[in-house]
Structure 1
Amino acid sequence: MTNPSPPGYLDDEKKGRITVTTTEVEYFPPPKTESVVSMGAFVTAPSASEGGTLVPDESDKPSNELSEWQTSIIIITLSGITLTTSMSVGAFTIALPAMAKDMNLTAQFLLWPQSMYSLTNGCFLFLAGSIADHIGNRNMNIFGCFFAGSFVLAAGLSQTGIQLTAFRGLQGIGAAMCLPTAFSIISKTISMGRRRNIAFACLGLGQPLGWFLGLLVGGICEGSPPGWRLAVYITAALTILLGVVNIWSLPNDRRIESSSWSGFYHSVDWIGLAISSTCFGTLSYVFAAISGDLKAIEQPANIVLLCLAALLIPMFAFWMNLQEKNGRPALVPNSMWRNKAFTCMCLMVVLIWATLQCMRLFLSLFFQNIQHFSALNAAVLLLPNVIAGIALNLLTGFLACRVSSYYLVLTANVFGILSPLLLCVINPAWNYWICSFWAVLLSPVSAGVVFTIANLVITDAFPKETQALAGAMSNTAQQLGGAFGLALAGVVAARGSQGGPEGSQVALWLGYRAVFYMCFGAMVVACLLGAVALRGAGVVGTSNEEKRPTTAKQEGEV
Structure 2
Amino acid sequence: MQRNPWWTLAVLAAAQFMVVLDVTIVNVALPDIQQDLGFSASGLQWVVSIYTLLFGGFLLLGGRVADLLGRRRMFVVGLVLFGVTSLVAGLAQNPEQLVLMRAVQGLGGALMSPAAFAILTVTFAHGRDRNIAMGVWGGLAGLGGTLGVIAGGLLVDSLSWRWVFLVNVPIAVLLALLVPTAVAESRVHPEGRRTFDVAGALLSTAGLLAIVLGVIRAEPEGWASFQVVALLAGGLALLAAFVRVEARSAAPLVPLALFRSRGLTTSIVALAFNGGAFLGMFFLTAIFLQQVRGLTAFETGLQFLPMGLAAIASALVASQLVTRFGTRPVQIGGVVVSIAGLLLLSGADATGSYALTILPGTVLFGIGIIAVGTTASIAAVADVRHEQAGAASGVVNAGYQVGGALGLAVITTLATSHVESLLSGGAQAQEALVGGFQRGLLFAAAFAAVNILITIGAPRLHPTSTQVAEAAVGA
Q: What interval of TM-score do these two structures reach, taking the shorter chain for normalisation?
A: 0.7 to 0.9
Q: Which amino acid aligns with 1:156?
A: G
Range with greater deviation from structure 2 (511-520 or 328-337): 328-337
**Which residue, out of 378, 397, 422, partners 2:300?**
378
Per-residue deviation, residues 327-361 of structure 1 (Å, max 9, x unmatched)? x3333233321211101110111011111111111
Residues 59 and 394, structure 2, Cα contact 8 Å, conserved in 1: yes
- What TM-score comes out, normalization by structure 1 length? 0.73
Q: Which amino acid aligns with 1:272?
A: G
**Which residue, out of 520, 533, 538, partners 2:463?**
538
Q: Which residue in 2 is equivalent to 1:155?
A: 89
**Which residue, out of 43, 49, 67, partners 1:133?**
67
1:196 shift after superposition: 6.6
Residues 218 and 376, structure 1, Cα contact 8 Å, conserved in 2: yes
Q: 1:296 to 1:203 in 2, by over 3 A?
A: farther
Residues 453 and 540, structure 1, Cα contact 8 Å, conserved in 2: no
Which is helix-richer, 1 or 2?
A: 2
Residues 345 and 361, structure 2, Cα contact 8 Å, conserved in 1: yes
CA separation in 2, counterparts of 1:198 and 1:400? 21
Q: Which residue in 2 is equivalent to 1:519?
A: 444
**Which residue, out of 460, 469, 477, partners 2:399?**
477
1:52-91 mapped onto 2 (5 Å cutoff):
70=5, 77-91=11-25
1:479 shift after superposition: 2.0
Q: Does 1:279 align with 2:207?
A: yes
Per the alignment, in what secondary structure is the counterpart of residue 355 of structure 2? coil
| Greater RCO (Cα-Cα under 8 Å, separation 6 or more) | 1
Q: Which residue in 2 is equivalent to 1:61?
A: none
1:482 shift after superposition: 1.6
1:514 shift after superposition: 0.7
Q: 1:364 to 1:247 in 2, by over 3 A?
A: farther
Per-residue deviation, residues 371-428 of structure 1 (Å, max 9, x unmatched)? 2211111111111012122233344566666663334433333322221111133454
CA separation in 2, counterparts of 1:120 and 1:382? 26
1:3-152 mapped onto 2 (5 Å cutoff):
70=5, 77-152=11-86
Per-residue deviation, residues 208-241 of structure 1 (Å, max 9, x unmatched)? 53244332233223344x4222332223333443
Residues 274 and 373, structure 2, Cα contact 8 Å, conserved in 1: no
Q: Does 1:494 align with 2:416?
A: yes
Q: Does 1:347 align with 2:239?
A: no
Residues 328 and 458, structure 2, Cα contact 8 Å, conserved in 1: no
Residues 61 and 197, structure 2, Cα contact 8 Å, conserved in 1: no
1:101-250 mapped onto 2 (5 Å cutoff):
101-188=35-122, 205-224=139-158, 226-250=159-183
Range with greater deviation from structure 2 (500-509 or 235-244): 235-244
Q: Which amino acid aligns with 1:363?
A: T
CA separation in 2, counterparts of 1:143 and 1:357? 28
Q: Which residue in 2 is equivalent to 1:17?
A: none
Q: 1:250 to 1:346 in 2, by over 3 A?
A: farther
CA separation in 1, counterparts of 2:189 and 2:162? 47
1:533 shift after superposition: 0.6
CA separation in 1, counterparts of 2:401 and 2:85? 19
Per-residue deviation, residues 237-283 of structure 1 (Å, max 9, x unmatched)? 334434444544445425x4566xx7213xx4454344323322322
Range with greater deviation from structure 2 (124-133 or 496-505): 496-505
Residues 119 and 284, structure 1, Cα contact 8 Å, conserved in 2: no
Q: Which residue in 2 is equivalent to 1:431?
A: 353
Q: Which residue in 2 is equivalent to 1:510?
A: 435
Q: Which amino acid aligns with 1:432?
A: Y
Per-residue deviation, residues 511-556 of structure 1 (Å, max 9, x unmatched)? 11011101111112113322431324433643999xxxxxxxxxxx
CA separation in 2, counterparts of 1:489 and 1:431? 25
Per-residue deviation, residues 85-109 of structure 1 (Å, max 9, x unmatched)? 2322333221111122222333233
Range with greater deviation from structure 2 (473-482 or 505-514): 473-482
Q: Which residue in 1 is equivalent to 2:233?
A: 307
Range with greater deviation from structure 2 (126-135 or 447-456): 447-456
**Which residue, out of 264, 279, 300, partners 2:194?**
264
Identity, in percent, stands at 24
CA separation in 2, counterparts of 1:209 and 1:533? 30
Per the alignment, in what secondary structure is the counterpart of residue 227 of structure 1? coil
**Which residue, out of 319, 322, 327, partners 1:405?**
327
CA RMSD, Structure 1 to Structure 2 (Å):
3.5
CA separation in 2, counterparts of 1:302 and 1:286? 5
Q: 1:300 to 1:540 in 2, by over 3 A?
A: farther
CA separation in 1, counterparts of 2:413 and 2:264? 30
Q: Which residue in 1 is equivalent to 2:186?
A: 253
1:155 shift after superposition: 0.5
Q: Which amino acid aligns with 2:208?
A: F
Q: Which amino acid aligns with 2:271?
A: V
Q: Which runs of 5+ in 1 are unaligned?
A: 1-65, 546-558
